[in-house]
Amino acid sequence: MSNNLKFYINGEWVESIGQETIEVVNPSDESVIGSVSAGTKEDINFAVSSAKNAFKTFGLSSKEERVTLLESIIAEYEKRSDELANTISKEMGAPLWLSQMAQVVAGKSHFSDTLELLKSFEFESMENNYLIRKEPIGVVGMITPWNWPMNQMCTKVASAIAAGCTMVLKPSEITPFCAITFAEILHDAGVPAGVFNMVHGMGPIVGAALSEHEDVDMMHFTGSTRAGIAVAIASAPTVKRVSQELGGKSANIILDDADIEKAVKSGVNHCLMNTGQSCNAPTRMLVSSKHYEQALSVAAEVANSTLVGSPETEGVRIGPISNKTQYEKVQRMIQIGIDEGARLVAGGVGRPDGMDAGYFVKPTIFGDVTNDMTIAREEVFGPVLCILKYENEDEAIEIANDTPYGLAGYVQSGDEDHGKAVARRIRAGQISINGGAKGPAAPFGGFKTSGNGREHGLAGLHECLETKAIIGS
């Protein structure tokens, strides 16, 4: 990849002003697979200046021009889907089938959904005797994570382009190569110079410079709650809009009228998907005392039969944790669960048998978990499931809401109306009933410390727009 050590600014691949580099590690074998340049504040200044200049024209572009641009991006994205999938698997360890069927597909879906809504979206409307205009907010700074890299980059970029915004992206330093391919896709699709810019680097340097920049009108962030707070603090002096999708500790309430075995199997598999590295993963399973031991047995069976291995290995369900720091955190959290008295019913500390390299974790199930335990309060971000007991439905809802987070929730019920009634009482941004397929255009974002603002579809487009009222005489 010829652009590894360059940044994409003002429609060109340019050298970094700094000299430092960041190594990229394959989490399956801990080998170094390449390096990217570590950006500086000066690199960010150049990128923001380019975006600001480009906004003078792109901010006035027509809806039809932006529709054509999104169509071109989708066409170029499709051409490089296989390349993206292989790159993601090497960078962050997702099994190749998951990279192909979910990681890459999610990105395309966001562009497709945004394209369709843009075609019918009205940027002007009359209310009483005044005109309401929806106008692009301006320059959007974007910071995206490593766990679902294309999903997060694409939803933000699609919304920004549809709105008429320009942008500067800081992708995760752990998954920079798929971001480079993405920048090449946007370039080949004919995105005007300066509309999209990309600078690699570390959060405390590049992310901070972007957040505090006076010419950035909005920060669009996905990541940990801790990092999100830092972005908000850095953004505050310039009073820019801050949209954040942060951590989660989502509850999965299995009601007594559900098919217990089916619900537990589904819940465990969902929690373990992407090696548990999803902010909306259902990591707290709530089961009534009547079915509790059955649930533990079924969950242990699923975990013990889940194949862990390298992304390219046939039949592998989950790959490694994406980086060493996160791997060490997950191992530490599993030990804390044991030390605090939770019952280990599957998995545990250490790598799976036969593995002596790579950031592999045993699929782990804890029983006898109470909601005051560390593993029930804090986001583990690994293949670790806590199963909690409740005595009645009100207690289940109370446990589900007893968390500083509020990103997602799950309800399993034999009666959809019953499930919806429970879902209405859960304080979280997106609730799924009986594993219903998540529409990629559905609004996504959190309550409480899981963030503010919404992504995807119409909600994502509105996030990048300002409202202007023009009042006639």
* Stretch(es) of the chain classified as CATH 3.40.309.10: 251-441
pLDDT at 439 over 70: no
What is the Cα–Cα distance from 180 to 74, expressed in whole angstroms?
A: 16
pLDDT digits (tens, 9 = 90+) for 344-355: 999 999 999 999
Mean pLDDT computed over every residue of the chain: 97
pLDDT of residue 80: 98
Joined tokens for residue 17: 């002003």
The CATH number, out of the four listed (3.40.50.720, 3.40.605.10, 3.20.20.120, 3.40.50.2300), of the domain defined by the range 6-246+449-471 = 3.40.605.10
pLDDT of residue 167: 98
What is the Cα–Cα distance from 364 to 344, expressed in whole angstroms?
A: 8
pLDDT of residue 438: 60
Joined tokens for residue 344: 């280990």
The single-letter DSSP state of residue 123 is S
The hierarchical CATH code for the domain 251-441 is: 3.40.309.10
Helices assigned H by DSSP within 340-465: 374-377, 393-401, 416-423, 457-463
pLDDT digits (tens, 9 = 90+) for 97-118: 999 999 999 999 999 999 999 9
Q: Provide DSSP, 228-291.
A: HHHHHHHHGGGT-EEEEE-----EEEE-TTS-HHHHHHHHHHHHHGGGG--TT---EEEEEGGG
pLDDT band at 440 (very low <50, low <70, confident <90, very high): low
pLDDT at 473 over 70: no
pLDDT of residue 389: 98
* Stretch(es) of the chain classified as CATH 3.40.605.10: 6-246+449-471
Ramachandran category for residue 412: left, alpha or beta (phi over 0 → left; psi -120 to 50 → alpha): beta
| Structural element, H or E, at residue 411 | strand 408-412
pLDDT digits (tens, 9 = 90+) for 288-303: 999 999 999 999 999 9
Quick one: average pLDDT of 357-372? 98
pLDDT at 11 over 80: yes
pLDDT of residue 79: 98
Read off the amino acid at residue 469: A
- Exposed e or buried b for every residue in 200-225, given b needs 16+ CB within 10 A? bbebebbbbbbbbbebbbbbbbbbbb
Global pTM reads 0.97
- Catalytic (active-site) positions: 245, 279
